[in-house]
Amino acid sequence: MATRLTVPITEDQIRALKVGDQVLLSGVIYTARDAAHKYMMENFIKGDCPASEQAVYEELKQGLAGGVIYHCGPVVKNHDDGRYEFVAAGPTTSIREEPYEADVFAHFGLRAVIGKGGMRDKTLAGCQDSGAVYLHAIGGAATLIGERCTEVLDVFKLDFGVPEAFWKIRVEDFPCVVTMDSHGSSLHETVQADSRKKLEELLAR
């Protein structure tokens, strides 16, 4: 049975999750990819926030506390009335954010990231230290996932381009699986180790 989580999420709720748990996520989350993570690191985490970026910082500082980042470059429709709609919203490969994610956890109080492909040691350590998890979304189901993104509330740094901007969205029963937990377990490492062992066995024949 899937665990239902509503943003903002508490650390206790995250610590209760284990690798393999299914999650249905609801609430307000943000998309962020390569440019967005680099921007957060350079402008907010490494030093004092520039005055020109203060409004975005205040938005993210509040919105990411107990919150969720989705590694996603959505396909977005802009309606005549100015309203945005996600047409497709599949996960992007997460490993590109490995240099940043643990710092984002610690600085913003982020509780989860959603993506595909998993992440590595630095992020896994960040999950343990900050009380966070990595949630794996279904690759190849962009349109289906887009239907779970029920409302686009706002967008920030659109000058980065549509895929790289911060999209503030509301999701309902967004399906995902815990593949890296706050206890040091990573399904990605387990699968890699098992695959390596199987390959060695095959090559030894």
Lowest-pLDDT choice from 10-14, 60-64, 196-200: 196-200
71 catalytic? Reply is no
Mean pLDDT (the chain) is: 94
Q: What is the Cα gyration radius of the chain?
A: 17
Query: Any idea what the CATH number is for the domain that residue 26 is in?
Result: 3.20.130.10
Q: Residue 191 has what pLDDT?
A: 57
DSSP 3-state of 26: strand
pLDDT value at 197 more than 90: no
- Whether residue 191 contacts residue 181, with contact meaning beta carbons closer than 8 Å, is answered with no
pLDDT value at 198 more than 80: no
Q: Residue 194 has what pLDDT?
A: 52
Domain range for 58 is 3-203
Residue 199 or 55, more confident: 55
Element of type H or E holding 39: helix 34-40
Kindly report the pTM of this predicted structure. Answer: 0.93
The whole-angstrom separation of Cα 18 and Cα 179 is 8
Domain count of the fold of the chain? 1
Structure-token pair, residue 93: 């490969």
Q: Residue 76 has what pLDDT?
A: 97
- Whether residue 53 contacts residue 183, with contact meaning beta carbons closer than 8 Å, is answered with no
CA distances from 177 to 38, 41, 112 (A): 26, 27, 11
Average confidence (pLDDT) over 143-164: 95
The strand ranges marked E within the chain are 3-6, 22-31, 68-70, 75-78, 84-88, 112-115, 133-136, 149-156, 166-180
pLDDT value at 168 more than 90: yes
Residue range 31-67, pLDDT digits in tens: 999 999 999 999 999 989 999 999 999 999 999 999 9
pLDDT value at 199 more than 90: no
Average confidence (pLDDT) over 164-172: 98
Average confidence (pLDDT) over 85-101: 96
Can you count the helices (H) and strands (E) in the chain?
A: 7, 9
Catalytic pick among 37, 71, 136, 188: 37
Angle between helices 121-130 and 101-108 (to 10 degrees): 10
